[in-house]
Amino acid sequence: MSYCNATYPAKELERVKLGKQRRPLLVDGFTIVKRYEKDSLAHYVAVNNRTRSIQLVFRGSDNLQNYITAVQTALVPADDKHFANTLPGPHVFEGYQEAAIAQMDAAADAVAETQRKYPNYATTIIGHSLGGAMAHYAAHYIRRKRQLPILAVYTLGEPTIATVEFADKIVEQIGVPFYRIVSSNDVVPFIDESPSLGTGPATRATEIYCPDPNAYGMIRCKNVQDPRCSRHVPCTELSWDHHSDYAGFRASQRVCLLSQLVR
């Protein structure tokens, strides 16, 4: 849904069923209550009355500016206003930090307002690709700076956003379960990994690995070196092909087109 350019497909997508088991694409009761789209970036806040939950969801790369952001990988110090008490020195990728800061206050304000309206609902923060990077940063800001409660963080195909030390530091400071979902041989989580610079995926986040991008089934990895998980894939076999495919589900704008099937 984060790739759809309007809120109306959500109600239509509730009626879409997938596969022989007729699994629903969306859980009934999903409603977008706040949507942000500005300067090439987007996120929304949704509420589900059935599951008594709030979701803050960040969109992944959807335009040229997003891809420019992804290649701005100069290491710079963390912004003191948004990431106080983390680590001194150059640890974060410039482009991702700037993109996160641009929408962080709006996202936190939307979550705070929604939590006031639904005080007993649990909040999760989610993002795919670039959106995963935004979710990683925003979860820290929302928890540490804004002091808002969240239940968990889920990123799908999250790229490397900083040094491993910094990425782990903010996972630790977020203080709630943090799940990195990786699809088969997806190259994106490892593109900017560099042992010499110390950059790479967070090791303190729990990896959830989808060995077959087109089949329902996931592995909860024991650690980053678990031989069943993404680390076992040779670098020569890493690819963009399944960056948007997760255990039979797809994270892309194509999902929005399914709404046309039920009109």
Q: Domain residues for 181?
A: 9-262
Q: Is residue 223 part of a domain?
A: yes
- Asked whether residue 2 is assigned to any structural domain, the reply reads no
CATH at residue 81: 3.40.50.1820
Length of the chain counted residue by residue = 263
**What is the pTM assigned to this prediction?**
0.87
CA 89 from chain center: how many Å?
25
**Does residue 54 form part of some domain?**
yes
Q: Is the pLDDT of residue 83 over 60?
A: yes
In a domain, 238, yes or no: yes
Cα 119 to Cα 64: distance, rounded to the nearest angstrom: 38
pLDDT at 19 exceeding the cut of 80? no
Q: Give the chain's mean pLDDT.
A: 86
Residue 10: band (very low, low, confident or very high) from pLDDT cuts 50, 70, 90: low
Average pLDDT over every residue of 70-94: 87
Considering the domain boundaries, does residue 26 fall inside one?
yes
3 lies in some domain: no
Counted domains in the chain: 1
pLDDT digits (tens, 9 = 90+) for 23-76: 665 555 678 899 898 888 999 999 998 899 999 999 888 777 887 788 788 999
First to last CA, the chain: 17
Specify if 4 maps to a domain. Answer: no
